[in-house]
Chain A
Amino acid sequence: MKTFLTVAGLTAALATPAFAAGELNIYNWGNYTNPKLIEKFTAETGIEVTITDYDSNDTALAKVKAGGHGFDVVVPSGTYIPIWVGEGLLMETKPSGMENFKHMDPQWIDVAFDPGRSYTVPWQWGTVGLTVNTSVYSGDPNTAAIFLDPPDELKGKINVVPEMNDVMGLAIHYYGGEQCTGDKAVLKQVRDGLIAAKPHWLSIDYGTVEKYAKGDLSAGVNWNGASFRVRLQNEDVVYGYPKEGYPVWMDNVAVLSDAKNVDEAIAFQNFVMAPENAALISEFARYANGIKGSEEFMPADMATAPEVNIPADLKEAAYVAEVCPPEIQKIYTRIWTDLQK
């Protein structure tokens, strides 16, 4: 019966797409939204939510830029926010004046990509670091040498996430540069270093939680939340923060300037800043959220997780990821292509 109704509904949708009041269209990363969060939002506000997935910042940007998409809310990474704002795609909703803004962790208010929070509120933040299986390699996991100059035990069992900018950033810092550098001496080392390291990698792939957990992979470049999910299945696995430098990213909830359901979208921005709601976001994907007091609503294992709480002595090495200028991006793409040729 349920299926029949859906078929009927979809057939109707063929004829008339309706965006009546009391609806909200969210455009978010796939498998990133806790269904419980949406149920709670609908229960509290009566607003029906539709979620549509994307799989990269670039796809989301290209689609929204083209227009005619029908989305109200989008969740881009902080690095991309200046582009979105610069293109006039985001609405200045002034979250700083919203009721739940008082829960914001002060360290995430004056961020470079949205100073004072005029457009966005935090969704989740995390780091890019290293997943290492200590039963295979017991040395220091806090260095990018794990994948750029791997110890013998790890060779052939390494995975690198196919995120060009993050991997380039890690490699550049390992060879002594800063993100988005155009320094040719450093970039030459980066290229040669990456190409020399590649034969020791098994894959450049996503979706590796199971492979780390079961020992198909022993180390690699990974996100902290993914590494956390690995550790829950395999206690030998630790997360390393490269002391040479590692990127910190944050995904943020923003309202589109051509949104049809503005009030609903703003209500959603306010909603996700409430600690118990932010906790639901974190519970699902296992990343921190930037809202004070959300810890007490989170699963107990998150409050103390070393993947979420950066050790004091490695905090210095973190850098907030930025978008590189186009001419630099071009060089990075060339290096990345050379790496995979």
Chain B
Amino acid sequence: MARSRSFDVRRQAGFPAVAITCFILLYLPIILLVVYSFNAGKSIAIWEGFSLQWYVSAWENEKVQDATIRSLIIATCASVIATSAAVMAALATTRSPKFKGYSVVFAMINQPLMIPEIVTAVALLIFFAMIKVATGYTGLWYLILAHSAFCIPFAYMPIRARLQGMDLNLEQAGADLYGTPWRVFRRITLPQLWPGVLAGAMLAFVISLDDVVITEFVKSAGQDTLPTYMLGQLRRVITPEVNAISTVLLAISVALVIAFYLLTKSGKPKQGDVQ
């Protein structure tokens, strides 16, 4: 079959266009969000001129700062826990041939997806309240545990998808080379699995960061997160104050991404470049 030299097997007509549109769609609301953080008016939807007042007011509002930081702490802890558990569970469910009880385990792992949030929330409220009364402990770990639970399927699914059909021969060879299962996992499996793990962890983080209903019911005194703080505002009026905070967080994360990019670019090839 005759084929020109420049033929790129990877190209699919229209795909880059869709992808670019997708990125524009993703960022259009974000741009608006950033724009309205500089709004002189009180609205997050009607422009009234430029002002920095919402940055000032966010800086002075300790409640909203605490809530933001609390959200980040919970999301970080929950996504680390959920991703670790999900990696192990994915290894158990995909490495070996289908075992008895596989579909039960699969249903178990995806259970948090299937129960509406409000139901889990009410049930956890009653369940955790009993523990809180019995132990007297009312710290953040209830929230972290609840968040870890519903983050597990979000972390598990991409990891499992990645694992399916992954080359077992490499691991076999690795087992001969390195010996212990832990070293095989660290040197061979994890690097190959990395995109899945990263995808899973990022999804878990985002899902935890956005949760309102379960948090609203599980939180104890003084444990408002950014979403529950916003929920309380929803009845009255939402001001661009949270836009200002979001913009600051965005700026920080974009800076981190750029730093990350420069590091990977200048540094030696990562472990991930096995294939």
Contact = CB atoms under 8 A, between A and B. Distances in A.
Do A and B form a real pair? yes
Interface of B: 42-43, 45-46, 61-63, 65-66, 69-70, 73, 122, 125-126, 128-133, 137-141, 216-217, 219-224, 228-229, 231-238
Given A29-B235, A214-B46, A68 B221 contact: no
Contact of B133 (A7, A16, A68, A210): A68
A67 B132 contact: yes
Interface centre among B126, B221, B231, B233 (most CB of A within 10 A): B221
B73 A207 contact: no
B234 A17 contact: no
Contact of B232 (A25, A54, A67, A69): A54
A13 interface: yes
A43 interface: no
A10 interface: yes
A55 B223 CA distance: 15
Interface centre among A14, A29, A53 (most CB of B within 10 A): A53
Contact of B234 (A25, A70, A206): A206
Interface string A149-185: 0000000000000000000000000000000000000
Contact of B235 (A13, A14, A68, A207): A207
A214 B126 CA distance: 44
Give the dominant DSSP class at B's interface.
helix
Interface string A53-67: 111000100110011
B125 A6 contact: no
Contacts of A69: 129, 132, 138, 220-221
B232 A31 contact: yes
6 smallest beta-carbon distances between A and B, as pairs: A30-B232, A68-B132, A53-B232, A70-B221, A66-B129, A25-B221
B139 A13 contact: yes
Given A17-B220, A210-B43, A210-B45, A62 B122 contact: yes
A66 B138 CA distance: 13
Nearest to A28: B232
B145 to A, nearest CB: 12
Interface of A: 2-3, 6-7, 10-11, 13-17, 25, 27, 29-32, 35, 50-55, 59, 62-63, 66-71, 206-207, 209-210, 214, 226, 229, 285
Given A6-B66, A30-B236, A207-B235, 13 more contacts: A16-B139, A29-B235, A30-B234, A52-B224, A53-B231, A55-B216, A63-B125, A71-B221, A207-B233, A209-B237, A214-B46, A229-B237, A285-B236
Nearest to B67: A53
Nearest to B126: A66
A10 B66 contact: yes
A31 B129 contact: no
Nearest to A208: B237
B132 A30 contact: no
Given A10-B73, A25-B222, A53-B232, A207 B139 contact: no
B231 A10 contact: no
Contacts of A32: 232, 236
A59 B122 CA distance: 9
Contacts of A62: 122, 125, 217
B220 A70 contact: yes
B42 A210 contact: yes
Contacts of A71: 221
11 contacts: A7-B73, A17-B139, A29-B235, A31-B235, A53-B231, A55-B234, A59-B217, A67-B133, A207-B236, A210-B46, A214-B46
A17 B237 contact: no
Nearest to B134: A68
A68 B42 CA distance: 37
B228 A53 contact: yes
A68 B140 contact: no
B65 A68 contact: no
A30 B221 contact: no
A35 B216 CA distance: 22
